[in-house]
Structure 1
């Protein structure tokens, strides 16, 4: 796996902190496993990354909507995926069921209805 390292350019101080960071190096890490390459597609991964960035502004660059604690970030990610999979009907899934609003969890067989935000909030501790 290629891991890019971003930071300030050489010789440039923090006065450019509102500009996008530059790639200052790379780190190559071995990844083990036996994935089914016929099912692998960067399009799915990139689409999910975009959905996550647009749904949670914490993951966009140069924003003030960051999490000060890692626990708060974990809670935000959990709520995002709970809403995305259980409470949000998806158009392609809805079309496949002849117009019946269908969330991802319903298509996977782990839910029998589209959840409301009140149902999700009731799960919070």
Structure 2
């Protein structure tokens, strides 16, 4: 939240809306007096808005039901983590004409060892536990 005096920002006030403040600060590796930047959250918000038309405006792609909205988000999340390589996760290699080894977030976490195709994602059978 920003405090303004005559349309000038004089102070920014941090508030934790959801969750236990101690847990949030521990997860972020900060103490109660530290600055909590929102750049990571805003970056993923922008990525979602530009990748999912249903977040742009109410129109043809608007989610009419909560169930379909959740399904669209789930598909986006799977695509983002298993199919889309991220530049910030690539590894520098020196292998002939290849200079970079592209990775997805799932590869960086060790969940998979390759970039998935859309067909592989859509036909993957989730094991029943």
- TM over 0.5, shorter chain: yes
State the alpha-carbon separation in 1 of the partners of residues 64 and 92 from structure 2.
42
Closer, same or farther: CA 41–30 of 1 in aligned 2, 3 Å? closer
**Deviations 1:1-40 (Å, cap 9, x if unpaired)?**
9xxxxxxxxxxxxxxxxxxxxxxxxxxx964412125464
Q: Sort the Cα spacing of 1:58 and 1:97 in 2 relative to 1 into closer, same or farther, 3 A.
A: same
Q: Distance in 1 between matches of 2:46 and 2:18?
A: 24
Over the aligned positions, Cα root-mean-square deviation in angstroms equals: 2.7
The 5-angstrom pairing of residues 28-47 of structure 1 reads: 31-33=18-20, 34=22, 35-36=24-25, 37-38=28-29, 40-47=36-43
TM-score calculated relative to the size of structure 1: 0.67
In the alignment, which of 51, 56, 76 is matched to residue 52 of structure 2?
56
Q: Which has the higher contact order (CA 8 A, sep 6+)?
A: 1
Q: TM-score under structure 2 normalisation? A: 0.65
Shift, 1:61, TM fit? 2.9
Q: 2:116: which partner in 1? A: 115
Gaps of 5+ in 2: 2-15, 31-35, 94-99
Structure 1 residue 70 corresponds to structure 2 residue 83: no
Contact 1:57 1:63 in 2 (8 A): no
2:72 matches 1:80:
no
Unaligned runs of 5+ in 1: 2-28
